[in-house]
Amino acid sequence: MSKKVLIVYATGGMGHVMAARAIEQAFKAKYPAVEIQNVDVIDYANKLYKKIFVDGYDYVSAKKPELWGWLYKSYNNKSRQKLPMVLSQLAIEGRFIPFVKKFNPDFIVSTHPLPMILISASKRKDVIDINSSIVVTDFGCHSFWVDKEVNYYFVATEEVKKCLNTYDVDLNKIIVTGIPIELKFAETLDREKLVKKLNLNPNLFTLLIVGGQFNFINLKKIIDGIHHQNRGKIQLLIVAGRDKDLKEALEESSLHQDHNIRIFGFVNFMEELMTVSDLIFSKAGGLTVSECLAKGLPLVINKVIPGQEEDNVNFLISQGAAVKANNFSDIITVVNGLLARPEKLIKMKEVCRKIGKPNSATALADFVYRKIHEK
């Protein structure tokens, strides 16, 4: 009889979803005999809870980041988490736990605290008795990730391991795997071939801009400022992501006529763009940061959502893998400075490669596979 692993996430930010997919991918690639279920716990919630959870997170993190930062810090206290925990149990537990019991996995991996809350509550009631784990998807820690019923914690770094230990988590329960990212970020790609494939100039500094965090006007100001001062020295790869309006505005602007600027919408070959780039201007989500580190790509970070993104940025800066730019003129100054000091950029790339964990998803799958075969 094949072993079973349940992977659970919650749709509150894409990072948790992507981490779950990466873990599933690692299992299917290396341990295809293991039966995997990868589910969104929010699918088991009532309609009201689902709308509040998904729309509420998207709205607060995008439109009211200061409120999100306050909530993040204020709820870093177990006593304040009781009410949201009870509400979550009432909204989801009745449908989710029966599903878990029916699937009857040998091991549960959660990439978000919410499923862990429900699973741990059921373990305390002796409703289920299954090894459970949680993947901390950022470079800091928070009490929301912690529960005595959790058997194992998968974390990004030794620093996060030490941080969890301050919440009385046994060090033997904490495994440093890195944040799970897709297997393709561990592949060694031929940069020269990719430069030709993308029709880029191999002699120019390449800046990758992931622009979903900006509107067109602000993004164009940044691009114009960087490009104007470095014409003939730099080429820009601009990824608008799923923002179709931004992509259309960029393509309709004068930027589209410049042969040293490439404009993309949503891409499924980010690992290729990262391979050919010297620097990335991006948000500081845990998964994005992990992908950059795996590819040895230093970051310039501007807009930081208070809370977990602050933890990510503080870690990167402390290691020398990123530079924070506080405003538009800062961004231009930072890029100009790195262009003028290539030795600093080389050092930053070395740091990224040193602390990156490209095989994180496989390392996690290896650990779980060993555990489910110990019985």
Q: Which residues contact 303 (CB under 8 A, 6 or more apart)?
A: 213, 214, 283
Q: Each residue's pLDDT tens digit in the chain (375 positions)?
A: 789 999 999 987 788 999 999 999 999 999 999 999 999 999 998 888 878 877 777 777 777 877 777 777 776 665 555 656 666 776 787 899 999 999 999 999 999 998 998 999 999 999 999 999 999 999 998 888 999 999 999 999 999 999 999 999 999 999 999 999 999 999 999 999 999 999 999 999 999 999 766 777 777 888 888 877 777 889 999 998 888 888 888 777 767 667 788 889 889 999 999 999 999 998 899 999 999 999 999 999 987 878 888 999 999 999 999 999 887 788 888 888 898 899 999 999 999 999 999 999 999 999 999 999 986
| Count: domains in the chain | 2
Q: Are residues 45 and 169 both part of a single domain?
A: yes
Length of the chain: 375
Q: Are residues 167 and 273 both part of a single domain?
A: no
Q: Are residues 132 and 194 both part of a single domain?
A: no
Q: Are residues 197 and 278 both part of a single domain?
A: yes
Q: Are residues 169 and 194 both part of a single domain?
A: no
Roughly how many angstroms between the first and final C-alpha of the chain, as a whole number? 13
Whole-Å CA distances, 136 to 3, 6, 167: 24, 17, 14
- Helices of type H across 104-150: 113-124
Range(s) of the domain holding residue 82: 4-181+359-372
Q: Which residues contact 362 (CB under 8 A, 6 or more apart)?
A: 26, 29, 30, 183, 186
CATH number at residue 337: 3.40.50.2000
